[in-house]
Amino acid sequence: MFLDFLQYCGRLAIFAGVAVYHCLRPPIYFRLIGTQMLEIGYFSLPVVGLTAIFTGMVLALQSHTGFARFSAEGAVATVVVISMTRELGPVLAGLMVAGRIGAAMAAEIGTMRVTEQIDALTTLSTNPFKYLVAPRLIAGLAMLPFLVLVADIIGVFGGFLVGAYQLGYNPATYIHSSWDYLKPMDVVSGLVKAAVFGFLISLLGCFNGYHSRGGAQGVGQATTNAVVSASILILTTNYILTALFFNK
Amino acid sequence: MTRQPKIQLIDIHKSFGHKKVLDGVTVDIGTGESFVIIGGSGSGKSVTLKCILGLMRPERGSILVDGREVVGVPARQREEVMKKFGMLFQGSALFDSLPVWENVAFGLMQGRHMDRRTARRKALEKLAQVGLGKDVAELSPSELSGGMQKRVALARAIAAEPEILFFDEPTTGLDPIMADVINDLIVKCVRELGATAVSITHDMHSARKISDRMAMLYHGKLVWVGPTADVDQADNPYVDQFIHGRADGPIKMEIRH
Ligand SMILES: Nc1ncnc2c1ncn2[C@@H]1O[C@H](COP(=O)(O)OP(=O)(O)OP(=O)(O)O)[C@@H](O)[C@H]1O
Ligand SMILES: [Mg+2]
């Protein structure tokens, strides 16, 4: 059991190494990177946006009722903005994208594997790592920070809506206290996390798809594995990164 | 045809788990020769081709292409070797994310960096050779029938006019007339373009028509190799049973336990 796990990690690490190597070496398929960026970045906007706005809203509501117990309602805006940018933006966007994109990648590449399309690529002198894996890794790495930035803005806006229109804070004061206590590091750390998560989502989607076998069932299994392992890795690395960033 | 062999297989062994599929396959395939492998379903014919292409790695043995070892060569060198090959997969293996013409032109655009316009013209030309018109070119592979997919896959395999062509059951699933068109096309590729062809087929009519030499794979070994003209006087009980399609003989189907 433990040995299996180690073997899995080893294979994943080798896969990641080979994939990164091929990201850096020509030929680089810019058209494919573009398509993937559109798929990951643009078409994930609705899902990520909805998640973010409701998270921001509920965050404002909860911290308001919580802080009211010791008359610290003034901190609501700050709490919303810091939790959104540092933690909830990257983690929730990462988890949503893992479900949407990681699964799609595993299913597509897995189907290509079991129908011998990956073998066909090789016989046409095209390296599957360059053609399939590298564009997805690059797009994941580049687009997740963008999505998280959007999620941060929408989430904070959601908090503002609840704060200003439901809880009766002064809109100007709310915006001020959001802004005043926000440090660049809060946002930057969130974006760095996002880039790492984007890489992990694409990596696990491609890895599981690439090694899937055994027809439709195998592809289904690969898809599940991609989403579950990406989600777990996102939560684990999130803790590690937070510890690294804010460990004083 | 007896210059240096194009492809040499020397004592190839390949198993999956405990199941031995290839058990010492040895054969030379000459330059410009059309070679056909026959044998029962599941006897390892497709596996043999995949081993030569490096898609599977044999446990033992050596494969030489133009005198150079290809087993276990690194990926970059493998890409170079692959430029010599064109392969028609048994299941077609068309890229379903690309339209038909881009499938055919794939090797031209990716491997040989031909520009899209020229590649497209070339692709249409190849599609016409396998009896498919312009209207098919923009469709997605999933919109085609099985036989049409097979013909697109054939067009893709020959598009770059490679030195070595592998056809895994090129005529299965085609009507007899179209099958004969494909047979003629394969013969043409070998005769006119000077390609070396290795085909797998169950269709004895097609096998006789396209091959210079035939080999029969049984229980992981080539039990018979010889010129096509000799196949009827092969004096080999396996070959005899196979070409006459008899249920009784030395080849026992695993249905009668
Ligand atoms: N990827 C694989 N994993 C495990 N076993 C395999 C794999 N590919 C092939 N085999 C086994 O190897 C044997 C030979 O398979 P192969 O596809 O070469 O048969 P074939 O001669 O091409 O048959 P057919 O004429 O039906 O296509 C089969 O028994 C099959 O079970
Ligand atoms: Mg086969």
pLDDT for res A68: 79
Q: Is A26 on the interface with B (CB under 8 A)?
A: no
* In contact, A16 and A229? CB cutoff 8 Å: no
Residues of chain A positioned with their CB less than 8 A from the CB of B96: 111, 115, 117
A-chain residue closest to B156, CA distance: A124
pTM for the whole structure: 0.89
Please report the number of interchain residue pairs, chain A to chain B, with beta-carbon separation below 8 angstroms.
55
> Which ligand has its closest atom nearest to the C-alpha of B202?
1
Whether B111 shows a pLDDT value over 80: the answer reads no
Q: Is B39 on the interface with A (CB under 8 A)?
A: no
pLDDT for res B200: 93
Going by C-alpha positions, the residue among A62, A228, A225, A30 that lies closest to residue A159 is: A62
Q: Is A119 on the interface with B (CB under 8 A)?
A: yes
Q: Is B22 in the pocket of ligand 1 (CB under 6 A)?
A: no
Facing residue for B79 by CB, picked from A111, A120, A125: A125
Bigger pLDDT: A165 vs B75? A165
Average pLDDT on A210-239 reads 92
**What are B206-253's pLDDT values in tens digits?**
889 899 999 999 888 899 898 988 888 878 888 888 888 888 778 776
Q: Which residues surround ligand 2, an ion (CB under 5 A)?
A: B 46, 90
Rounded CA separation A210/A129 (Å)? 10
Whether A248 shows a pLDDT value over 70: the answer reads no
Contacting residues for B34 by C-beta, under 8 A, at least 6 apart? B186, B187, B190, B196, B197, B199, B210, B211, B212, B213
Ordered strands of the B5-16 beta sheet: B19-30, B5-16, B60-65, B68-69
Q: Is B41 in the pocket of ligand 1 (CB under 6 A)?
A: yes
* In contact, A226 and A169? CB cutoff 8 Å: no
**What are B150-198's pLDDT values in tens digits?**
889 999 999 888 899 999 998 888 888 888 888 888 888 888 888 899 9
Rounded CA separation B229/B211 (Å)? 10
Facing residue for A119 by CB, picked from B55, B97, B111: B55
* In contact, B215 and B27? CB cutoff 8 Å: yes
Average pLDDT on A138-159 reads 93
Going by C-alpha positions, the residue among A212, A202, A214 that lies closest to residue A133 is: A202
> Cβ contact (<8 Å) for A115 and B83?
no
pLDDT for res B1: 47
**B39 alpha carbon – ligand 2 mean position (Å):** 10
Whether B120 shows a pLDDT value over 80: the answer reads yes
Q: How confident is the model at residue A38 (pLDDT cuts 50, 70, 90)?
A: very high
A-chain residue closest to B53, CA distance: A123
Residues of chain B positioned with their CB less than 8 A from the CB of A121: 95
